[in-house]
Amino acid sequence: MTARVVLGVSGGIAAYKAAELLRRFTESGHEVTVVPTESALRFVGVATWAALSGKPVSTSVWDDVHQVPHVAIGQTADLVVVAPATADLLAKAAHGLADDLLTTTLLTARCPVVLAPAMHTEMWEHAATQANVATLRERGVVVIEPAVGRLTGADSGKGRLPDPEQIHAVCVRLLARGATADLAGRRVVVSAGGTREHLDPVRFLGNRSSGRQGYALARTAVARGAEVVLVAANTALPDPAGVKVLRVTSALELRDAVLAEALSADVVVMAAAVADYRPVERLAAKRKKTDTLSVDFVQNPDVLAELGRARRPGQLLVGFAAETGDADGGVLEHGAAKLTRKGCDLLVVNDVSGGAVFGSPDNEAVVLSPRREPVAVPRGSKAALAHVIWDQVVLDLR
């Protein structure tokens, strides 16, 4: 589907990266209007934007006055994305200032708005900037967390513009939904991947979880306006744009990270596969090869159950259950029992008979709720399942 996209570019050194974002939109068949600020044109000129978009470019509300561009551009857009969004642009957007074509476009837009900040770390962390970001998110604007990396000159830290590919992916998800961000102003914590319990410096006990479903949940939550923390256990996946990623290894590390982040979360989603047991002793040196191997184990904490007992009023808890049927019951029977036992608001049940789901880009599941009928999700992309899960979460958010 062709969409009308407004690409705003504010005056930061990362403006040159917006050219790659523009290329991705046009190659996807979208109609793109580029609205740079005067400062942005000091980094990339009008000729570049016009050539790449195939449309004339203006920064002034006084050009083509008869067409009322300062109102019409925002009114007719399906999506507005600003990359990079400087600290100055964030401040103007938060306070409703409109002193150029880009800021007037933001005021008139009634479509999803995505802002991709880029600035020095000190500017991003300043209380004023953080307050402006919080205000924008509360209004439903998707503000992508900046990446960590090399900045201007020799500086490094948080404030780097996320890769254009990742910004584009967030925008595509928003366009596909065709709706405003329904998780705006919400803070969510998602766990992903599989924990490892080390026997020695070389060997460990693990599981087959790739983390793909948890990452899909994090990415789709960002696209729906949430502030997202991802606790990732032993994944090989790239960090999703706009997500704070905490990397852990063992079940105990994951427990500590999730419980700490859950203190201020509106929603916690436990998609990680957490080991049930760990060795009593982790050897400091590699175990020698012998004919026999004897290892004593101790049970790990039940993180999902702990979250159920410790959650704040109004906080929602989503669990995952990888089940196989047995003599005691079928997959859904086991899932229903776990939903009650763990104290979850939702439980996503996967039938993993024969190793299905693990490492695959696709998934199928049944979402159980104590308040509604089960929702069966046929096999499809893990992003599609993630959206169904968030749809169910939104029904319960107060």
By annotation, the residues acting in catalysis are 207
d(Cα 44, Cα 29) in Å, to the nearest integer? 23
SS3 96: coil
**Strand-by-strand arrangement of the 113-117 sheet:** 31-36, 4-9, 79-85, 113-117, 142-143
Partnered with residue 252 across adjacent β-strands are none
Task: Give the closest residue to 14 by CA, choosing from 113, 82, 100, 98.
Answer: 82
Token output for 360? 């695959």
DSSP string, 254-301: HHHHHHHHHTT-SEEEE-SB--SEEES---SSPPPP-S-----EEEPP
Are the C-beta atoms of 278 and 250 separated by less than 8 Å? Answer: yes
Q: How far is CA 80 from CA 5, 55, 122, in A?
A: 6, 16, 27
Are the C-beta atoms of 254 and 275 separated by less than 8 Å? Answer: no
Are the C-beta atoms of 140 and 181 separated by less than 8 Å? Answer: yes
d(Cα 2, Cα 273) in Å, to the nearest integer? 39
Please tell me what DSSP assigns to residue 358: T
Angle CA 243–343–269, to nearest 5: 10
DSSP string, 221-260: HHHTT-EEEEEEES--SPPPTTEEEEEE-SHHHHHHHHHH
SS3 327: coil
Helix (H), strand (E) at residue 390: helix 382-396
Residues 6 or more apart from 161 whose CB is under 8 A from it? 12, 14, 17, 83, 84, 116, 117, 118, 146, 147, 167
d(Cα 376, Cα 354) in Å, to the nearest integer? 20
Phi, psi dihedrals of residue 45, rounded to the nearest 5°: -80, 170
